[in-house]
Amino acid sequence: MHSIDRKWIDLAAGYQAIQSFTTKLTAEFGRAVRVGHKQQFRKELTEWQKKRRVLFLLGAVAPLSIIALCLTAYYYRDVACVIIYWAVLVLIILVTLAVAGRQYILEMVDGKPVARRVEGQVVDLEGRWWDSLSPQDFAVGKPGKKGEGDFLALLVHSLPDLYSARLLSDSDLLLLGPSGIWILKVESWSGTIIKQDGVWKQIQTVREKLWRKRLEEKTHEPGPDDGWLQQKQEIVRTLEDHLPERAWTLSLIQGGVVFSNPKVNLDKEHILGSSAAYGPSKAWAERICRAPTVDGFTLEMQLEILDTLAGGGSQPTISTKDEAERLYRQAVEELRAYVVKMVK
């Protein structure tokens, strides 16, 4: 799954640009990179063959030296003890060298270089583009973080790259993929969660002095389900106003409330009248993974919707189209230096 920082705009245009630059890069450097790989392979093969010949020569000379010492000891019996001592010493040295250089020997015997085949794109330009769109302060699986950060990390590990996610706010996550549009409100509440008389309550055990415990009840108004419903209505209005040609995608909106804290206890028997689906992080990740795909809901459409729904807010915005051009220029410089180095 791709995580996109809120500062990026022009996602659909940027994606089209990166596809175009990838094709252009392959056309410009595809043949040169293939030739460079061939030249590099020949150099590696020649060097390997030289080292292999030296190894086999040493392998042949070593036992001959032992045999020569043994024959000398046989014919010169007066000094046989000294010669046998040297023979044993040489044998120990050879065995030690063989054990220490085992990996090197295996490499010379079975490590013949293999020619690399360059097919398709010469540089993963699209992969670099997606990486550059990720939030700079987002650490996947960073311990100690609770809330949308942990849930976003879980989705990154669970979902394929066909999905794209973006934070709408500190607690609202927008996820688009083959299965539709997912609006997820993330709450990091701990303790036991209930909803009674239309009010969400969080019940926690608090430790006091002398190891005493007491239950502390905290109410949350408005509730997260009401916040999710309001967010959904705002998104529906935005799409109707700015993307009327994509009105059919409104039926693809789904999601609900995510309780991301691993210590949360959802008392479903006492959660009554929730206006949105709810569940723990892992359950939501599994649900999204199992959701059926929607025909015709392409990646370009998804990025277009992300552009419309999630602007940069108060922070400065950067065009992903400009980022695609920057990455292309960087890749051109790298490939030129790479090809020159390989053909030398």
Q: Residue 159 has what pLDDT?
A: 93
User: Token pair 């695609």 is at which residue?
Assistant: 324
Q: Does residue 44 carry a pLDDT above 60?
A: yes
Mean pLDDT of all residues in 168-197? 92
Q: Does residue 228 carry a pLDDT above 90?
A: yes
pTM of structure:
0.73
Q: Residue 31 has what pLDDT?
A: 73
The pLDDT-based confidence of 139 (bands split at 50, 70, 90) is very low
- Residues 248, 177 contacting (CB under 8 angstroms): no
Mean pLDDT of all residues in 192-197? 92
Mean of per-residue pLDDT scores for the chain: 83
Q: Residue 89 has what pLDDT?
A: 73
For residue 130, is it within any domain? yes
Q: Residue 69 has what pLDDT?
A: 66
Pick from 12-21, 117-126, 276-285: least confident: 117-126
For residue 183, is it within any domain? yes
Mean pLDDT of all residues in 236-265? 93
Q: Does residue 141 carry a pLDDT above 80?
A: no
The residue among 181, 169, 328 whose CA lies nearest residue 243 is: 181
For residue 165, is it within any domain? yes
Q: Please tell me whether residue 8 adopts helix, strand or coil conformation.
A: strand
For residue 66, is it within any domain? no
Q: Does residue 54 carry a pLDDT above 90?
A: no
For residue 228, is it within any domain? yes
For residue 276, is it within any domain? yes
Mean pLDDT of all residues in 155-184? 92
Higher pLDDT, 85 or 151: 151
Q: Does residue 74 carry a pLDDT above 50?
A: yes
The total of structural domains in the chain comes to 1
Neighbours of 232 (CB within 10 A): 19
Mean pLDDT of all residues in 258-287? 93
The pLDDT-based confidence of 83 (bands split at 50, 70, 90) is low
Q: Does residue 144 carry a pLDDT above 90?
A: no
For residue 79, is it within any domain? no
Question: Per mean pLDDT, which of 70-74, 262-266, 340-344 is the most reliable?
Answer: 262-266
For residue 340, is it within any domain? no
In order, the DSSP letters of 166-223 are EESSSSEEEEEETTEEEEEEEE---EEEEEETTEEEEEEEEE-GGG-EEEEEEEESS-
Q: Residue 58 has what pLDDT?
A: 73
* Full residue range of the structural domain in which residue 161 is found: 2-14+123-321
Phi/psi of residue 205, nearest 5 degrees:
-95, 120
